[in-house]
Amino acid sequence: MEQPLEALAIPVAAPAPRRGPAVPLAWIGVLPFFAFATLFLLLPTLFLIVGAFQDPDGHFTLQNLRDLFAPNILSAYWISIEISAASALGGAVLGGILAAAVVLNGLPGWLRPTLMTFSGVASNFAGLPLAFAFLATLGRLGLVTVFLGSLGFNLYRSGFNILSFWGLTLTYLYFQIPLMVLILTPALDGLKTQWREAAQTLGASSWQYWRMIAFPVIWPSLLGATLLLFANSFGAVATAYGLTGSTLNIVTILLYAQIRGDVLHNQNLGYALALGMIVITGLSNLAYIVLRTRSERWLR
């Protein structure tokens, strides 16, 4: 006997009451980061930008930016740019060779993790400890200086001075080279073996492979990493101050002296000095991000 349609109907559960939007618990974990970035990065930067366009009475002015072209300030910027460029290029070349040696040349397997561990530590070893280490090593009574003197070679009479342009550049290389290794190694890992095999199958030499395939792929990473090294050394202050004191007129030391004692006799000029540094390092980091994005399209 057929049952009525009402008996065959499947009971449908009543719709659950609608709730408000779920609390995004995942965002709670990043709240400390946003709070830290706002308090110690965004707000101070905005304060500097506003102060750079004000006079001591709080009125709008462009005089602070014009004063950045004074000879002593312009010289400080130029010396900082020269040191940053020299250490960035040196770190890029030496770090690139080191990264290529452990990634591409079939060295023992234990060497790569050892180098990466050392690079992770050395790239963050800066400030007063690094300055003291180089003074203890290459100072006038440093370990290497005394050792070379015992062999009849006077390092300082040959023209070297740790408290100089090249002395500071050499010190910066200690953390620039490991940083280059850390940045460039993933790019070298992204070079696919199929590309080399295809090039060899078509009769290309090793030089042709690097010139026509590998280098065009990794050059954005290489150039971007060099710009990052430039920004990294341009903003360094503790190492430079601990090593040279006030003997080398670079912009970070000048800004440090302005913060401590208003040596420029204009508080707002110090804000403009810091704004100039922010612009230079910001442009370097922006170029690095653009180049890295371009490189990642090939290395995925």
Render each residue's pLDDT in the chain as its tens digit; 300 residues: 555 545 555 555 555 556 555 556 778 888 888 999 999 989 999 999 999 999 988 899 999 999 999 999 999 999 999 999 999 999 999 999 999 999 887 778 888 999 999 999 999 888 889 999 999 999 998 999 999 999 999 999 988 888 889 999 999 999 999 999 999 998 888 888 888 889 888 888 888 888 888 888 888 889 989 999 999 999 888 899 888 887 888 999 998 888 888 888 888 998 999 999 999 999 998 988 888 787 777 666
Quote the pLDDT of residue 145.
93
Residue found under tokens 């080279």: 177
Rg (CA), the chain: 28
What is the distance between the terminal CA atoms of the chain, rounded to a whole angstrom? 67
pTM value is: 0.84
Q: How many alpha carbons lie under 13 Å from residue 270 in its C-beta half-sphere?
A: 18
**Backbone dihedral region of 20: left (phi > 0), alpha (psi from -120 to 50 degrees) or beta?**
beta
Closest CA to 266 of 63, 60, 42: 63
Question: Among 225, 210, 224, 218, which residue's Cα sits nearest to residue 190?
Answer: 218
What is the Cα 94 distance to its own chain's centre? 16
Q: Give the architecture (CATH level 2) of 70-299.
A: Orthogonal Bundle (1.10)
Phi-psi region of 159 (alpha: psi -120 to 50; beta: other; left: phi over 0): left
pLDDT, one tens digit per residue, over 46-64 is 999 999 999 988 899 999 9
Rounded distance, CA 73 to CA 175, Å?
27
Q: Report whether 123 contacts 175 (CB < 8 A).
A: yes
87: closest CA among 218, 246, 239? 239
| Closest C-alpha among 82, 230, 71 to residue 164 | 82
